[in-house]
Amino acid sequence: MGTACCGPAFCALGCGLWPTLAMSRFVSELQSPGKRWLVAGLGNPGLPGTRHSVGLAVLGQLARRLGVAESWVRDSSCAADLVLAPLGDAQLVLLRPRRLMNANGRSVARAAELFGLTAEEVYLVHDELDKPLGKLALKLGGSARGHNGVRSCISCLNSSAMPRLRVGIGRPVHPGTVEGHVLGYFSPEEQELLPPLLESATDLLLDHIQNRSQAPSPGP
């Protein structure tokens, strides 16, 4: 059986995706003549503070930095919380999925459809086992590397071209404890490292988006 994910054609009405009142208002507010980007924090709703949901923590810091932390709107068509934020001449659509990690891609793909964005214009922020806590890396495209949330996004967007901010959470010594480590909460010692990590992640993300927004558009 096929998945419930959306296909590669990012045309909201053409795909039968009728926006809710909240999303209709969002679309009407997109007046910026510059670039538009979607930034999705991957994670499990209702489990803030876990290592697997560190992408949501980064998105929360990003919203605070941009002054929109109190403006989130829940949208049923995307099964997500969304908020718009200006960034110079560009405009960001921040998204917090309200589906479980393994189905985050369905929320991301529907929002991409609605806002008319390609996979290359969708940023994913997620945890990374193979980097120690405190380390960051911004990767352009590639495989899911075993991350179920990224795998869901690749499947639903029918593309692996999304830029990804990978936030290190460290890999436990014993392989049998990986699941508990990923789904567990940061220890008190680790929590002390989180504020500067979230700040650095926000800096890296904004710098990258600003540089891409200012780059000349490719020719025909």
* Residues catalogued as catalytic: 52
**Could you write out the DSSP letters of every residue in 26-92?**
HHHH---SS-EEEEEE-S-TT-TTBGGGHHHHHHHHHHHHTT-TT--EEETTTTEEEEEEEETTEEE
Cβ-in-10-Å burial (0-12, 13-18, 19+) of 108 comes to buried
Question: Are the beta carbons of 125 and 41 closer than 8 angstroms?
Answer: yes
Copy the structure tokens of residue 181. 């480590």
